[in-house]
Chains A and B, each alone.
Chain A
Amino acid sequence: MGGRPKPGHDTEADRHARVGLETTMISHGLSFDVAHMLAGGLVLVSLMMLYQDRLYSLINVLALHAVVLALSVSWQAYIHAEPHLYITAAIALGFKAIIIPVALKRMVFRLGIHREIETVVSIGLTMLAGIALVGLSMEVMLPVTAKVDPVAREDIALALSVVLLGLLIMVTRRNAVSQVIGFMSLENGINLAATGAQGMPLVVEISVAFSVLIAFIVIGIFLFRIRERFDTVDLGALDAFRGERQ
């Protein structure tokens, strides 16, 4: 299944007219504010993630992250009348907000991972870096998306910051679960971008593909027999077997 072909946009000129119309129509008013609010909320939640130092709470925040994403996606689906986006929202809600967090919690419990998150640099520094990243993404995105309509514009900029924040989490957290979480938030940001870029085809396929990817990662942590081979999921333990053993 692909981008749903819309009735009645045949010629170039017609499309341009439609785009312009939408822009003028949506750019002011509630729909824009809500979309903006939700996207901003996502960034906020990402920053909250940075702030966490307990695994369980981090997982909870992740769930929250997914919920906010779901809301924002469904809002996009609503204002752009693109029902297939609801699927994405559903995936976000069901898979990322419920299944994965539960799975992660059970894993943390089963594998007996100690609950503190070892950070590389102090939380405060991480937060500062996060703020800087948000600033950077604004700086990069806002000027270049002048032509794009405001919703997508805001969304893209915020999405980029979510992506960067996700990467930041992956980079500054030592243990695998929190890295998975970082990756998921990164991926949420991409979903946000994908849905924000309205009319983009294959969004659903992509979100599905991504969910598969994440499932792989989570299952991987189980199935790599990590519990058998290593007593912790810290990637640090894997480093004993890195590249060429000296």
Chain B
Amino acid sequence: MNALAILLIPLAAAAVLAVISDYRLSARINVIACLLSLLASASLFWWRPTSGQYLLIDDLNVVFIVLTNFVAFTTSAFSASYIAHELETGRLTPTYLRFYHAMYQLMLFGMNLALSANNIGLMWVAVELATLTTVVMVGIYRTHEAIEAAWKYFILGSVGIALALFGTILVYLAARPVMGEGTDAMVWTELLRHAGAFDPSLLNVAFIFLLLGYGTKVGLAPLHAWLPDAHAEGPTPISAVLSGLLLNVALYALLRFKMLLAVNVGAIAPGPLMIALGLLSVIFAGFMLYRRRDIKRLFAYSSIEHMGIIVFAFGMAGPIGNFAGLLQMTMHSLTKSAIFFSVGHVAQVKGTQRIADIGGLTESHPVLGWGLIAGVAAIAGLPPFGVFQSEFLVVSSTFARAPVLAVLLAFGLLVSFGALMLRVSAVAFGAPRGPVGPVEASYVPMFAHLALVLVAGVYLPAPLVAWFQHVAALLG
């Protein structure tokens, strides 16, 4: 029931928002709808429906669903204050806003569906839906850059999605001899049960396609090309959602298939592939961070880096590796969206996203500035924030098993750390550059996220830990 609610609420909200023209009202409705679906998703902890042919709620995806709905909720609250300014500056018109809100809910629907789908075909459709909605929202400003970014995102995403579908079909093919035709051969729970008997070599090929297909969505190098521009040119709430959520959704799909391969003994271990792509992404993104001129693109690259870390962690697997991966993923969602909240306001008040034109934030806008510093410190893996814990676990646990990998990872971390600190100290310190007018911003979402990350770094509640450990065990 509540599983349906997280799907129906956004769908209904999308329908309603499509017809409401007053943007204040629609923004409010947007927030309320997100809140409702958040509550519905939270209720999944206590009251969980039995998995059917199409929908599945298990320990793994509950984590993702709740996280998704939470960030979606805070982001909607942030966007309510964000778009008002966009209207003033005339970058958006009410008609587009109507569109925007509807799309927002539609995207939430798509992500929830993708997360709760028990059918790999359905999941694929849902991911595509979410992608399309974000494509539209990335292009919503309709500047040269926005359109180009959306186009790039769209083409690359479509190719990725196509590859993913091919992989899905191969999985079905692998399953069919064992499980016969029909829907069962695409249902998670069933697949998982019989995966041991599948033809491993076919699974391998399938996983390659899935890795590249969904990996494009995750933003792993060298499939990352769409990600920085899409983050940089779209509205900031969308950047927050992209980094915080959509990447996770694709990652989730990848994890599902990894579980499948993990069950099958004969199949190629997915670990090495994921580790390789992860390391590549971390180091590549680390270097790319240095020459970024656009602040949102900067953090987009840091998202690539973190996705690399997460995929690396899951590739290392093992209880610690998976735990670290889950933790890192959660922390990254919260932190990165918080950063984008503050960056969004900064870009609004300064009227630019060029790092060179922004300076002395801690003096001109102390709250934003220090918030940004805290966020960057968190994302760079400085204590006492949560990212530090997961990176601690990844690096230290890796070093004992594969020293070279750990050293490479540490190298990538250090490189990107340097870039982030360099940029943030340029932006936050020195004499103020650009307009210093007051900013009407809602700091609540940003500091809510940061507070959560801070607490997580020092103290993780036991139930959550048990939960993560259980999920980590599931991931094998």
Interface residues of A (CB under 8 A from B): 2-3, 5-6, 9, 12, 15-16, 18-19, 140-141, 143-148, 152, 156, 159-160, 163, 167, 170, 179, 183, 186-187, 190, 193-194, 197-202, 205-206, 209-210, 212-213, 216-217, 220, 224-225, 229, 235, 238, 240-245
Which listed residue (B135, B166, B199) contacts A146, Cβ 8 A? B199
The A-contacting residues of B in range 163-216, CB under 8 angstroms, are: 165-166, 169-170, 172-173, 176-177, 179-183, 185-186, 199, 201-202, 204-205
Instruction: Give the chain B neighbours of A147 by CB distance below 8 A.
Output: 177, 199, 202
Closest 4 CB pairs of A and B: A199-B181, A15-B180, A202-B121, A241-B144
Residue B358 at the chain A interface, CB threshold 8 Å: no
Shortest distance from the beta carbon of A141 to any chain B beta carbon, whole Å? 7
Q: How far is the CA of A143 from the CA of B204 in the complex (A)?
A: 12
Contact assessment for B159 and A193 in the assembled complex, using a CB-CB cutoff below 8 Å: no
Contact assessment for A19 and B176 in the assembled complex, using a CB-CB cutoff below 8 Å: yes
Stretch of B122-130, B277-285, B316-324 lying at the A interface: B122-130
Residue B293 at the chain A interface, CB threshold 8 Å: yes
Instruction: Give the chain B neighbours of A210 by CB distance below 8 A.
Output: 162
Contact assessment for B186 and A15 in the assembled complex, using a CB-CB cutoff below 8 Å: no
Shortest distance from the beta carbon of B109 to any chain A beta carbon, whole Å? 15
Shortest distance from the beta carbon of A177 to any chain B beta carbon, whole Å? 13
Question: Among A163, A220, A240, which residue has the most Cβ atoms of chain B within 10 A?
Answer: A220
Contact assessment for B166 and A160 in the assembled complex, using a CB-CB cutoff below 8 Å: yes
Given A19-B177, A148-B177, A217-B158, A190 and B165 contact (CB-CB distance below 8 Å) = yes
Instruction: Give the chain B neighbours of A194 by CB distance below 8 A.
Output: 165, 169
What are 30 contact pairs spanning A and B, CB under 8 A? A3-B182, A15-B179, A19-B181, A140-B205, A144-B199, A144-B201, A145-B202, A146-B199, A148-B202, A183-B155, A183-B162, A186-B162, A190-B165, A197-B169, A197-B172, A198-B181, A202-B122, A206-B124, A206-B125, A210-B162, A213-B128, A213-B158, A217-B154, A217-B155, A229-B147, A240-B144, A241-B148, A243-B229, A244-B293, A244-B297
0 or 1 for each of B226-239: is its CB under 8 Å from A? (1 = yes): 00110010000000
Residue B139 at the chain A interface, CB threshold 8 Å: yes
Given A16-B180, A144-B205, A241-B145, A216 and B154 contact (CB-CB distance below 8 Å) = yes
Shortest distance from the beta carbon of A46 to any chain B beta carbon, whole Å? 15
Contact assessment for B180 and A143 in the assembled complex, using a CB-CB cutoff below 8 Å: no
Instruction: Give the chain A neighbours of B121 by CB distance below 8 A.
Output: 200-202, 205-206
Contact assessment for B180 and A9 in the assembled complex, using a CB-CB cutoff below 8 Å: yes
Contact assessment for A200 and B186 in the assembled complex, using a CB-CB cutoff below 8 Å: yes
Given A2-B183, A145-B202, A163 and B166 contact (CB-CB distance below 8 Å) = yes
| A-B contacts, CB under 8 A, total | 147
Contact assessment for A12 and B180 in the assembled complex, using a CB-CB cutoff below 8 Å: yes
Which listed residue (B125, B132, B139, B204) contacts A202, Cβ 8 A? B125
Contact assessment for A193 and B147 in the assembled complex, using a CB-CB cutoff below 8 Å: no
Tell me whether chain B's interface is mostly helix, strand or loop, or mixed.
Answer: helix
Q: How far is the CA of A156 from the CA of B206 in the complex (A)?
A: 12
Q: How far is the CA of A244 from the CA of B443 in the complex (A)?
A: 29
Contact assessment for A15 and B147 in the assembled complex, using a CB-CB cutoff below 8 Å: no
Which listed residue (A19, A205, A212, A245) contacts B180, Cβ 8 A? A19
Contact assessment for B181 and A15 in the assembled complex, using a CB-CB cutoff below 8 Å: yes
Which listed residue (A140, A200, A245) contacts B169, Cβ 8 A? A200
Q: How far is the CA of A213 from the CA of B133 in the complex (A)?
A: 12
Contact assessment for A193 and B166 in the assembled complex, using a CB-CB cutoff below 8 Å: yes
Contact assessment for A224 and B201 in the assembled complex, using a CB-CB cutoff below 8 Å: no
Residue B151 at the chain A interface, CB threshold 8 Å: yes
Instruction: Give the chain B neighbours of A144 by CB distance below 8 A.
Output: 199, 201-202, 204-205
Instruction: Give the chain B neighbours of A220 by CB distance below 8 A.
Output: 151, 154
